[in-house]
Amino acid sequence: MENKNSARNTQHSKQILGLVGSPRKLGNCEVFIKEISIKIEVPHELNLIRLPSLNILPCHACYGCIMGNPCPNKDDMDFLLESIKESDAILVATPVYYLGAHSIFKRILDRGFLFYNYIEKTYNKPCILINIYGIEDRMGVSPQTLMTFASFLCLNIKESVNIKAALPGEILMDTRNRQKAEALAGILFSDKEVKSESGCPYCGCDIVRIEKERFICTLCHSHFLMDNQGNRFKIKDGGILGPPEHMNTHREWLKGMKDRFLQKRKEIFKNSIPYKDAGKWIEP
């Protein structure tokens, strides 16, 4: 998109990638991402991908990519991950569908083993996560899915926002949403860390499980407590998220799955084979 700040064909122009999670043309996700771009004062180009238009196939669970082999799926995952790698910053927006993010994000996340090939390059790229919902208080678990997507790519989440707008493209008719877009434009390339006032004190995710007296974050799986004033107390780091070196320790553990399976194969088959012919598979 050409705007007053864009500087096409200049070497210094930043590349911003807008990942539009809605199939609606000129819907709220698209319009809001474009408005943020227009308000960003740093010279840049805005490149857009309409995620639901991508061909993203299901993971075969073959562990090929974990072992360093190419993925047998020939689809648009490489295009998507290369596009993120080549960008300086990422704006991600999803419509809330049935109390969650658009399913395209889960399809991409199911292929997340491929992220390991990119995290050295995607680490710390600033991103903003936008959940757009239509009915008061019905954004469901959408923020958790976008945060999972960004966190496993080691992106630097500058802010995760939930914005209400129902009718296609109406989002900027509310001046508060225009102001929010401007504020987000100001933080994308700034060094300022936006501290979340609520949610997990480790990673900021606001979808938590409650187990007895403690909260367990559904993203980083850290444990924390909260007092009557809303102060949050860290108890235990879940150890899941971190910089690429840290994430790669999990990849190494996953690589070991092959040997662990081979070692236990006979015992596993003894238990699973008796179920081979139970039930009847039906197809459409």
Ligand X SMILES: Cc1cc2nc3c(=O)[nH]c(=O)nc-3n(C[C@H](O)[C@H](O)[C@H](O)COP(=O)(O)O)c2cc1C
Which residues contact ligand X by CB under 6 A? Answer: 22, 24, 27-29, 95-99, 132-135, 138-140, 165-166, 168
3-state secondary structure of 13: coil
d(CA 94, CA 169): 13
Residue 254 sits at φ, ψ, to 5 deg, of -65, -40
C-beta of 86 vs 174, nearer to ligand X: 174
Instruction: Quote the least distance from Cβ 223 to ligand X, whole Å.
Output: 29
Q: Which residues pair with 224 in a beta bridge?
A: 215, 234
Tokens of 138: 């019905």
Q: Which is nearer to ligand X, 135 or 210 (CB)?
A: 135
Q: Which is nearer to ligand X, 140 or 244 (CB)?
A: 140
Single out the residue of 180, 89, 103, 177 nearest to residue 141, CA to CA: 103
CB under 8 A, 24+ apart: contacts of 174-177: 177/32
Q: Which residue has the tokens 């630097």?
A: 156
Q: State the burial class of residue 139 (Cβ atoms within 10 Å of its Cβ: 0-12, 13-18, 19+).
A: buried
Q: Are 66 and 214 in contact (CB under 8 A)?
A: no
Q: Which long-range contacts (CB under 8 A, 24 or more apart) does 133-139 make?
A: 133/95, 133/96, 133/162, 133/163, 133/164, 134/96, 134/164, 134/165, 134/166, 135/164, 135/166, 136/164, 138/96, 138/99, 139/96, 139/99
CB 143 to ligand X: min, Å: 12
Indicate the residue among 95 and 204 with the shorter CB distance to ligand X. 95
**Of residues 140 and 186, the one with the C-beta less far from ligand X:** 140
Which is nearer to ligand X, 139 or 153 (by Cβ)?
Answer: 139
User: Smallest distance, Å, CB 46 to ligand X?
Assistant: 16
Residue (54 or 226) nearer to ligand X, CB? 54
Residue nearest to ligand X (CB): 27
Q: How far is the CB of 76 from ligand X (least distance, A)?
A: 20
Residue with tokens 């292929």, as numbered in its chain? 111
CB of 95 to ligand X, least distance (A): 3
To the nearest whole angstrom, how small is the minimum distance from the Cβ of residue 162 to ligand X?
9
Smallest gap from residue 275 Cβ to ligand X (A): 36
Q: How far is CA 83 from CA 16, 20, 179, 185, 231, in A?
A: 10, 13, 29, 21, 40
